């Protein structure tokens, strides 16, 4: 049995008796799946693992996405996405400083196949900064009025990497930070409210930068709506803040939580993380009512 120790926050739990260095048996996978749905974020501290072990462990949870972005690809391990300021260039989901907006998102919401879950493993972390925030979108949805919930259930959001480019431009971080170069990006439309395939629980599904519009709305109105929604949905009461130690591995449920990086001193400290991304398996459709 996996041992769960909850955090002080509304989401998040630590699991200390699972080694990511070993391929989990079917019972353990089932328990991890259940715990992931229940707590949204699972923290596995003190994991000393190789890229190969990380891939093997993650593959037991589902099919993995391959890294498209050249700057984030780990040579010989396409399943791993490298985040940080060490290596080929800066790959970051954090604002440049405390004054800038956060980038709340669910991984791969703007890809054809979204991410069901992500596993992020800390190899090197700064002493201060570079925390990761997670916000629970069940609480976000439940915290809306019935009328707002009804409005949200009808909305279809437009997601695109151009929103991320724009975010980076706004911060004048330059090309080395661009997750997607200068390509013209395709747009993906998804419902704002989704039901968790395991439990039927409803949650909000969007990002405050990657979501660039709402079907049928003009851009200014959509921008205003998304700003308001983010303020509500990602409020501190719905959050877990992860302060990383090297060798922490954190698994999160992209169906249930949004996440955002926080700033760190990119010039003078090192941050190096490996991520595997587990593909979505369930359709994400408007709720039939
Ligand atoms: C990610 C991500 C946040 C961070 O790897 O998907 O959003 O704090 N990371 O690095
Ligand atoms: Mn992410």
CATH number, position 26: 3.60.130.10
Would you place residue 102 in the very low, low, confident or very high pLDDT band (cuts 50, 70, 90)? very high
Q: What pLDDT sits at residue 169?
A: 85
Whether 174 has a pLDDT exceeding 60, the answer reads: no
Q: Which residues constitute the domain of residue 82?
A: 3-279
Residue in the block written with tokens 């803040």: 241
Q: What pLDDT sits at residue 172?
A: 66
Asked whether residue 287 is assigned to any structural domain, the reply reads: no
Whether 178 has a pLDDT exceeding 80, the answer reads: no
Determine if ligand 1 sits within 6 Å of the CB of residue 83: yes
Asked whether residue 167 is assigned to any structural domain, the reply reads: yes
Asked whether residue 200 is assigned to any structural domain, the reply reads: yes
Q: What pLDDT sits at residue 173?
A: 55
Based on the number of CB atoms within 10 Å of its own CB, is 231 exposed (0-12), middle (13-18) or buried (19 or more)?
Answer: exposed
Whether 70 has a pLDDT exceeding 60, the answer reads: yes
Asked whether residue 289 is assigned to any structural domain, the reply reads: no
Number of separate domains in the chain? 1
Residue in the block written with tokens 């704002």: 192
Q: Which atom of ligand 1 is nearest to the CA of 118?
A: 6
Query: Distance between CA 51 and CA 274 in Å, rounded?
Result: 8
Asked whether residue 59 is assigned to any structural domain, the reply reads: yes
Determine if ligand 1 sits within 6 Å of the CB of residue 108: no
Q: Which residues lie across from 241 on neighbouring strands?
A: 133
Q: Which atom of ligand 1 is nearest to the CA of 261?
A: 8
Determine contact, residues 39/134, Cβ cutoff 8 Å.
no
Determine if ligand 1 sits within 6 Å of the CB of residue 273: yes
Determine if ligand 1 sits within 6 Å of the CB of residue 274: no
Would you place residue 88 in the very low, low, confident or very high pLDDT band (cuts 50, 70, 90)? confident
Mean pLDDT value of segment 159-188: 72
Percentage helix, strand, coil, to 5, in the chain? 25, 25, 50
Q: Give ion ligand 2 contacts, CB < 5 A.
A: 107
Asked whether residue 29 is assigned to any structural domain, the reply reads: yes
**Model confidence, pTM:** 0.96
Question: Ligand 2 centroid to 69 CA: how many Å?
Answer: 14
Q: What pLDDT sits at residue 17?
A: 97
Q: What pLDDT sits at residue 89?
A: 86
């Amino acid at each position: 049995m996996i041992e769960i120790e909850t955090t002080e926050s509304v989401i998040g739990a630590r699991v200390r008796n699972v080694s990511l260095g070993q391929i989990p048996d079917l019972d353990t996978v089932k328990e991890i799946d259940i715990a992931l749905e229940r707590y949204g974020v699972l923290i596995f501290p003190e994991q000393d693992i190789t890229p190969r072990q990380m891939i093997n462990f993650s593959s037991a949870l589902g099919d993995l996405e391959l890294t498209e972005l050249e700057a984030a690809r780990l040579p010989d391990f396409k399943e791993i996405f490298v985040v940080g300021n060490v290596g080929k260039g800066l790959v970051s989901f954090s604002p440049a400083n405390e004054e800038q907006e956060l980038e709340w998102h669910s991984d791969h919401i703007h890809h054809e196949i979204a991410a069901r879950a992500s596993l992020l493993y800390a190899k090197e972390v700064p002493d201060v900064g570079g925390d990761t925030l997670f916000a629970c979108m069940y609480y976000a949805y439940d915290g809306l009025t019935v009328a707002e919930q009804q409005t949200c259930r009808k909305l279809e959001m437009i997601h695109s990497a151009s929103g991320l480019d724009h975010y980076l431009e706004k911060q004048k971080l330059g090309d080395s930070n661009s997750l997607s170069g200068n390509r013209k990006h395709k747009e993906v439309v998804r419902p704002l409210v989704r039901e968790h395939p395991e439990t039927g629980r409803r949650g909000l599904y969007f990002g405050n930068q990657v979501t660039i519009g709402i079907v049928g709305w003009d851009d200014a109105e959509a921008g205003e709506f998304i700003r308001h929604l983010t303020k509500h949905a990602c409020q501190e009461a719905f959050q877990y803040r992860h302060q990383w130690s090297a060798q922490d591995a954190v698994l999160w449920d992209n169906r249930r939580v949004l996440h955002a990086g926080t700033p760190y001193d990119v010039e003078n400290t090192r941050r190096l993380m490996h991520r595997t991304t587990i593909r979505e398996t369930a359709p994400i459709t408007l709720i039939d009512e």
